[in-house]
């Protein structure tokens, strides 16, 4: 268990919240003027009070229900949540899968609200002169605010930009030009990154995390503004990635070391989120994926309804000897922890990797392999105690490889970086080696609609189209990103960033998978602004296409 971080997260957060409640409630201009920063020594308790809510919001935003992991992954070609026949689920999850987005889907409101809650917490802290008297504390808060704005820019693009906590009565924000928002995020991070702490510890935003966020900003820039490409941003991305790679990080010896209940010992983690169900849980993956009877395999105590499904088209891009396949996915006959087979109404529980449909008729209870990437500990509620890697070194390696390949420079180094990440996942070192040609070649993903409309026990009724992945730029690298970062809130961005050769279309819109069909435009690059936000502010305009 996380004795080191239980103290930091549990007791420390409780203290921080207590100080926050007693000293920072209903802040106004009069209260700010009561603390003169030049005469005030910033205490550890006040540091904690300023940072507690700022950090707390990122947990809700990333792992809360409908949070960043859900919105990034459930719209992707890796996994989703169908109508589970005899169980439930479906509805808005079906719309997420089919890219039938509308402004009333819960994912869009949650990500909008949680990111702005984080920004409000940052603005509130920065309105206090005493906070600004500490360079490192104010740098952390400004960086976290940039992180929240990065998420909003990525998801919605046309967002209000506000850096002030106190406003006049009746004030409502206007949408900012997306490029101005980009420039604000960039300028904020560049201004404070050298003031961030160099020490690396769980749940603390450090200097390397700041460089990583800048690199993410630059890597995605051309995908966000695809009508104004500028390869110089890939060069800028490389500069910040090199600062991360030169830092005190090494790839974990075992892929699974990054997804244990306690990941504080992994030298790969650049910035992580500490979760502890007693104080602040949030990783619900075991609960979402496991069949109720399948809990006996792991002896975990939380609820389980088996909602999630992984698409066979994705599973088929794993190489047979890639150990990530079995470290991330469980399929076949299931057994209790004591070795007895698990029976459901007298029938063996067997996870079948084949699927019927997202909603017509849907998927049956035993269908799909189950995600086991995050450690499930006997007696725990599921995975809600599991720490989460937000940024890790493998990401920096593959981001650098992508930039080098896009720039057409040092391509052999790019292949070496990808090989380094793969090496721990293959028993035979030769199997881990990947070449430049493989990375620049097509994807192995068999894109196309792939749905069985027949009912269980009746004749199959397959709807299959074949689109393939040979026409995807850097398709080999796209496949590697999928295998390495499944269920880490990556896939939507990767699909948007990688294009179909000879077109302006990206994979996210221009390819079909499972029951989602390709479309002829890119309006789904942006999610719709939630109805609740539009209803509350007449100055907001909905994103194009919705």
**Alpha-carbon distance 399 to 146, whole Å?**
20
pLDDT attached to residue 47 = 60
pLDDT attached to residue 441 = 98
pLDDT attached to residue 92 = 97
**Alpha-carbon distance 282 to 507, whole Å?**
30
**Which tokens hold the place of 378?**
């006997």
Does 179 fall in a domain?
yes
CB neighbours of 128 closer than 8 A, spacing ≥ 6?
Answer: 24, 27, 32, 35, 50
pLDDT attached to residue 59 = 87
pLDDT attached to residue 3 = 33
**Alpha-carbon distance 77 to 507, whole Å?**
9
Look up tokens 């499944």; give the residue. 486
pLDDT attached to residue 8 = 28
CB neighbours of 168 closer than 8 A, spacing ≥ 6?
Answer: none
* Cross-strand bridge partners of residue 175: 160
**Alpha-carbon distance 89 to 36, whole Å?**
54
Does 480 fall in a domain?
no
pLDDT attached to residue 222 = 98
pLDDT attached to residue 31 = 25
Contact 313, 447 (CB under 8 A): yes
Count of domains forming the chain: 1
Dump pLDDT digits (tens) for 236-295. 999 999 999 999 999 999 999 999 999 999 999 999 988 765 555 567 888 999 999 999
Does 469 fall in a domain?
no
Does 258 fall in a domain?
no
Does 126 fall in a domain?
yes
Cis ω for the linkage preceding 361 (within 30 of 0)? yes
Closest CA to 74 of 61, 85, 65, 84: 65
Domain with 30, as residue range(s), is 1-64+99-196
pLDDT attached to residue 24 = 31
**Which tokens hold the place of 278?**
């007693």
Look up tokens 């990688």; give the residue. 498
Does 169 fall in a domain?
yes
Contact 302, 287 (CB under 8 A): yes
Q: Which residues of the chain have pLDDT under 50?
A: 1-40
pLDDT attached to residue 6 = 28
pLDDT attached to residue 302 = 87
Closest CA to 272 of 374, 191, 125: 374
pTM: 0.91
Contact 213, 190 (CB under 8 A): no
**Alpha-carbon distance 102 to 104, whole Å?**
6
Q: What is the CATH number of the domain that holds 125?
A: 1.25.40.890
- Rg of the Cα trace of the chain? 23
Does 292 fall in a domain?
no
pLDDT attached to residue 544 = 97
Phi, psi of 446 (to 5 degrees): -85, 75
Please list the helix, strand and coil fractions of the chain in percent, rounded to the nearest 5, in that order: 45, 10, 45
**Which tokens hold the place of 228?**
């104004």
Does 299 fall in a domain?
no
Query: 529: which DSSP letter?
Result: P
């Amino acid at each position: 268990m996380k004795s080191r971080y239980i103290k930091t997260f549990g007791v420390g957060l409780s203290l921080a919240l207590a100080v926050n409640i007693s000293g920072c409630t209903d802040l106004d201009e009069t209260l700010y003027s009561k603390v003169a920063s030049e005469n005030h020594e910033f205490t550890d308790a006040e540091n904690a009070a300023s940072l507690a809510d700022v950090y707390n919001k990122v947990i809700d935003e990333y792992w809360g229900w409908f949070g960043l992991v859900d919105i990034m992954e459930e719209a992707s070609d890796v996994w989703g949540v169908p109508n589970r026949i005899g169980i439930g689920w479906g509805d808005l999850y079906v719309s997420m899968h089919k890219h039938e987005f509308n402004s009333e889907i819960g994912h869009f409101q949650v990500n909008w609200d949680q990111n702005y809650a984080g920004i409000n917490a940052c603005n509130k802290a920065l309105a206090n002169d005493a906070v600004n008297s500490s360079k490192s504390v104010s740098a952390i808060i400004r960086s976290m605010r940039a992180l929240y704005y990065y998420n909003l820019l990525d998801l919605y693009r046309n967002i209000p930009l506000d850096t002030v906590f106190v406003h006049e009565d009746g004030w409502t924000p206007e949408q900012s030009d997306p490029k101005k928002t980009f420039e604000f995020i960039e300028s904020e991070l560049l201004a404070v990154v050298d003031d961030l702490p160099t020490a690396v510890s769980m749940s603390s935003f450090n200097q390397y995390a700041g460089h990583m966020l800048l690199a993410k900003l630059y890597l995605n820039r051309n995908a966000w503004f695809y009508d104004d490409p500028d390869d110089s941003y890939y060069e800028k991305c490389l500069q910040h990635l090199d600062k991360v790679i030169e830092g005190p990080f090494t790839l974990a010896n075992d892929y699974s070391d990054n997804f244990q209940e306690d990941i504080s010992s992994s030298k790969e983690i650049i910035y992580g989120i500490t979760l502890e169900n007693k104080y602040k849980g949030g990783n619900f993956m075991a609960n979402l994926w496991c069949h109720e009877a399948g809990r006996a395999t792991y002896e975990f105590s939380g609820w389980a309804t088996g909602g999630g499904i992984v698409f066979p088209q994705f599973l088929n891009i794993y190489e047979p000897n890639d150990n990530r396949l079995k470290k991330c996915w469980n399929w076949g006959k299931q057994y209790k922890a004591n070795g007895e087979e698990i029976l459901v109404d007298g029938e063996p529980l067997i996870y079948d990797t084949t699927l019927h449909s997202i909603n017509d008729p849907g998927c049956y209870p035993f269908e799909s392999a189950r995600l086991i990437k995050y450690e499930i500990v006997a007696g725990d509620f599921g995975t809600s105690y599991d720490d989460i890697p937000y940024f890790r070194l493998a990401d920096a390696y593959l981001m650098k490889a992508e930039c080098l390949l896009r720039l057409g420079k040092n391509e052999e180094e790019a292949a070496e970086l990808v090989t380094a990440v793969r090496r721990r996942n293959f028993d035979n070192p030769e199997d881990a080696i990947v070449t430049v040609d493989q990375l620049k070649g097509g994807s192995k993903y068999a894109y196309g609609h792939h749905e069985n409309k027949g009912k269980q026990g009746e004749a199959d009724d397959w709807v299959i189209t074949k689109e393939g992945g040979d026409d995807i730029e850097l398709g080999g690298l796209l496949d590697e990103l999928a295998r390495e970062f499944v269920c880490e809130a990556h896939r939507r961005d990767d699909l948007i960033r990688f294009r179909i050769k000879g077109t302006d279309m990206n994979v996210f819109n221009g390819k079909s998978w499972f029951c989602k069909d390709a479309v002829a435009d890119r309006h789904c690059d942006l999610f719709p602004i939630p109805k609740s936000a539009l209803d509350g502010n007449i100055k907001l305009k909905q994103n194009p296409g919705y």
